[in-house]
Structure 1
Amino acid sequence: MTEARPDHITSINTTFVVEGYNTSMKWNRWVKRLEVAFKVFNTANDMKACYLLHYMGSDSYDTLCNKVAPSLPEDMEYKEIVELMDKYYNPAPLEIAEAFRFHSRKQHDGESIQEYLHGLQKLAINCNSRIFEDSIKESVCLWAKFKKNTKQVTGNEESRFG
């Protein structure tokens, strides 16, 4: 005899399936999503490296093999693999180059102040600036195309960009 299920109950996929990594993605964000899948599927710690090696894709696997040769990736711990690949895909940015990009950013024609601020915030991530908000304020004041945008930024000392 089959029990009828209420309409509001849905089935949940119990097969571990994760989008494979490709180099157009940010490595660290992909790893975070993989770790969420580990929690969802209650993955045992000794299996995490296996899943990582499987889902990282052939290009990343080849890169890993080249980096650890003559050792084998299969003999590595999950954390070791993640750290090694993180160093490869996310090398420490050159702070001076990032600061130059940040300070060179100008507001584009037709770009709203919000879009401009978003672009500055994205560039400032790698600047390691202790005065992040002051740098953004300074850049907006220097490069904003319209005086009303500059007044909007400097008019309220307590405003925070977010």
Structure 2
Amino acid sequence: MNVEGVSPPTPFLARPGKPALPWSDWIFSFHNYLTALGGEAYSTERKTALLLHCVGAEAQRVYRTLPVQPRREDEDEFHAAERQLAEFYEPQVNVIAERFFFRQRRQESHEPTADYVAALRRLAVNCSFGQMTDAMIRDQVVEATVHPILRERFLQDKGLTLDRVLEIAEAFERSRREATAMAGPARPAADGAQMPVPAEEADLHEDSSAEEKVIALLTDEESVLTEQDVRTASAADPELQQLRHQIKRGWPSSAKACPVEVQPYFKIRHELWVRNDDVILRGAQQSGTLVGWKGDGQCNVTVVFQHDLKDPLTQLVFRAVEEHRQQPSVDLGGLARAAVSGDEVALDMFSSWRPKTSSTRFLVARQENLNVFVGSASG
């Protein structure tokens, strides 16, 4: 039926079965249709006939079987018919359960905030929030957003409203899309076999007979990824955003107290730091000083060389050497520079080294061999 060029809504229930839409959604569409027709001026009988025609044959049959009820005060035939159909087709709502489902709805990793708000608004229909609906949706977005940085921006706004939440989120998500587009297509990742091995995964003293190799050194070769690629990818990655937030805020005493996304980083938390451009790095935080020392059985330390490094170190593994191979007459500053450059002879002069972050104090265990430490000048 097409009256005055306006199409009616799809029948609510044309044949036996389950309605395709909840009654509340369908009756909303019907009222829009009635308004478009100018139906408020129709007689009560005509509006009732239009309602029963649009609900579909099966819903009409159900309506005819409903027990006759007296009309309520100030209720005409049309509103009485609408109420009776609503009472039959609308399930009883458990507000406590509906609010639980509302609170459990979290934002998906790739879900725009506007879509998330729309989903929350649909869930809020049965929650009886009343005039607090927008405030409840706002609070849920602030709590459940997948972007920790965005949550910080929300909390900085003392008069935060739901409209303001959508405005801030849209600007943030648009800038991320633009940054990703400017970065161009993804580049191939480097071979994982060539990446540095964490100290925890490689026990350097377990097998002294095994020949140790340099795992990674700074080189002049062109990288697979540019600095801009790294910055863009780091800014766009939700897990790195959360990790960056955790590093800046400080770590709790146990991994279980961390968000699930950053728990795998807990063991190396003291090795992680955030550069000024928000890129997360692992290792020494500054160029630092390459120091070689010799420790005796009483934990006395003799510094045998000290060399300032102008470039940050990546991870190094020096080959173990015997005590008698140390040469007091060696130019230790030059030897350090050669070692950092990857010179095999220089590497043979040094003992095994594990990466450590900068520290103003250190303890030396019972060792007689030469050790290498990377730290601050005061370390």
Q: Do the structures match in fold with TM over 0.5?
A: yes
The equivalences for 1:1-162 within 5 A come to 14=4, 18-22=8-12, 23-25=19-21, 26-37=25-36, 39=38, 42-68=41-67, 77-129=77-129, 131-162=132-163
> Compared with structure 1, are the counterparts of its residues 155 and 92 closer, same or farther at alpha carbon in structure 2 (3 Å cutoff)?
farther
State which drifts further: 87-96 or 33-42.
Answer: 33-42
What is the deviation of 1:140?
Answer: 2.4
- Give the letter aligned to residue 24 of structure 1: A
TM-score computed with the length of structure 2 as normaliser = 0.33
Tell me which residue corresponds to 2:261. Answer: none
What is the deviation of 1:160?
Answer: 1.5
> Compared with structure 1, are the counterparts of its residues 16 and 99 closer, same or farther at alpha carbon in structure 2 (3 Å cutoff)?
closer
Instruction: Give the CA RMSD over aligned residues.
Output: 2.9
Distance 1:14 1:142 in 2: 48
1:31-90 per-position Cα deviation (integer Å, ceiling 9, x unaligned): 313431552595333322222222221121122123237xxxxxx922211111122233
Instruction: Number of aligned residue pairs: give it.
Output: 144
Distance 2:138 2:28 in 1: 29
- Give the letter aligned to residue 80 of structure 1: A
Structure 2 unaligned segments of length 5 or more: list them.
Answer: 13-18, 69-75, 164-379
Specify which structure has the higher proportion of helix: 1
Distance 2:142 2:4 in 1: 53
Distance 2:132 2:9 in 1: 38
**Contact between 1:141 and 1:153, CA under 8 Å: does it hold in 2?**
yes
Distance 2:138 2:10 in 1: 40
Distance 1:121 1:17 in 2: 27
Distance 1:112 1:87 in 2: 36
Distance 2:146 2:58 in 1: 44
Specify which structure has the higher proportion of strand: 2
- Give the letter aligned to residue 140 of structure 2: S
Secondary structure at the residue paired with 1:68? Answer: coil
Structure number with larger C-alpha Rg: 2
Distance 1:67 1:140 in 2: 43
Structure 1 unaligned segments of length 5 or more: list them.
Answer: 1-12, 70-75
**Contact between 1:16 and 1:41, CA under 8 Å: does it hold in 2?**
no
Identity of aligned residues (%): 18
> Compared with structure 1, are the counterparts of its residues 19 and 114 closer, same or farther at alpha carbon in structure 2 (3 Å cutoff)?
closer
Distance 1:57 1:117 in 2: 33
Secondary structure at the residue paired with 2:140? Answer: helix
Distance 1:33 1:161 in 2: 26
Distance 2:145 2:6 in 1: 49
- Give the letter aligned to residue 29 of structure 1: F
**Contact between 1:120 and 1:136, CA under 8 Å: does it hold in 2?**
yes
Distance 1:16 1:56 in 2: 16
- Give the letter aligned to residue 101 of structure 2: R
Distance 2:105 2:119 in 1: 8
What is the deviation of 1:134?
Answer: 4.1
> Compared with structure 1, are the counterparts of its residues 81 and 158 closer, same or farther at alpha carbon in structure 2 (3 Å cutoff)?
same
**Contact between 2:44 and 2:77, CA under 8 Å: does it hold in 1?**
no
> Compared with structure 1, are the counterparts of its residues 18 and 121 closer, same or farther at alpha carbon in structure 2 (3 Å cutoff)?
closer
**Contact between 1:105 and 1:120, CA under 8 Å: does it hold in 2?**
yes
